[in-house]
Structure 1
Amino acid sequence: MKVKNITNGPKGVNSVDGPVEIGPGQEVNVEMSEAEVASSKRMKWFEFSGSAASTGDEPKLDRDDLKKQAEELGIEYAPNITTPKLKELIDAQLAE
């Protein structure tokens, strides 16, 4: 999705891979969840075009379920880890 900062100063959005800073007037391509797009739209700092990241055929990642699974596998992670990154850690552990 394309996100354009329509303010006079730098602003940030949370992509599925982490924070992205966007300079004044700058437009970037960024993958964002639908929830993050909705949250960012409320700020009225950005113009959006395109669509938010969709899960397609993949099931929705339930963060609480992933945390429980990580705990059961003995995986340590930072409290602010992104949900996709947590899933990556779990998948890597299961692949071993």
Structure 2
Amino acid sequence: MRVKITKPGIYGVKGEIAVGTELTLKSEPKGWEGRYEVIKGDGAGKTEITNREELKKQADELGIEYARNASNEKLQELIDAKLAE
């Protein structure tokens, strides 16, 4: 998966990784949530949304009811299920 850093606060071996840096990763970096966007992924054609506000917006647009404390992963599951209907 190829990601682009969109917000500061991500550190590598040599220090902070600059915003705008593109990296190739084997899997989704869970600790980086909300600070990167997927440029090219292994998501079998689906677009991954990592920004919580975007997930909530999409869920609301689809009429999905969800707990306000639902994790991003759960929101994405609900969205995927609704789109698969």
**What TM bracket, shorter-length normalisation?**
0.3 to 0.5
So what's the TM-score if we normalise by structure 2?
Answer: 0.46
So what's the TM-score if we normalise by structure 1?
Answer: 0.41
Q: Larger % of helix: which?
A: 1
Which has more radius of gyration?
A: 1
